[in-house]
Amino acid sequence: MLKRFVVVLAGLGFMSACGGGNSPVKFMNEAADKICKCEDMECVTKAQAELAKAGESMKDMDPSKLSADDQKAIMEATQKMGKCATDLATKAAGGAGEGEGGGEH
């Protein structure tokens, strides 16, 4: 579920950055890096909110105008973002649960 949410937010951010050149790629890579640097879900939630807010401002942009290379790079950044958020959520759920499998951090 969280991964799907990240993908939706990433798509919004992707559309917001569609101004030309490599800006959408740069935007998504920076967003992915920001989420991947998070150490807790509060940080991920904040980064996702910032991404969604950025996407709101220009959600009418046409992502089909991007080159195939840019689309691929954005998809890779989106997948990276989703993986980082999902891994952190899984780790947080394991640490907050009943402690099955050890309580190390």
Q: How far apart are the first and last CA of the chain?
A: 24
For 40-98, write each residue's pLDDT tens digit: 999 999 998 988 887 776 576 677 788 899 889 989 999 999 999 999 999 888 855 44
pLDDT at 26: 87
For 18-40, write each residue's pLDDT tens digit: 444 447 788 889 999 999 999 99
List CB contacts of 33: < 8 A, sequence separation 6 or more.
Answer: none
> What DSSP string runs through 2-34?
HHHHHHHHHHHHHHHT-SSTTHHHHHHHHHHHH
Domain ranges of the chain: 2-12+24-59+68-90
Query: Which has more pLDDT, 71 or 15?
Result: 71
pLDDT at 99: 46
Report which secondary-structure segment, H or E, holds 92.
helix 68-96
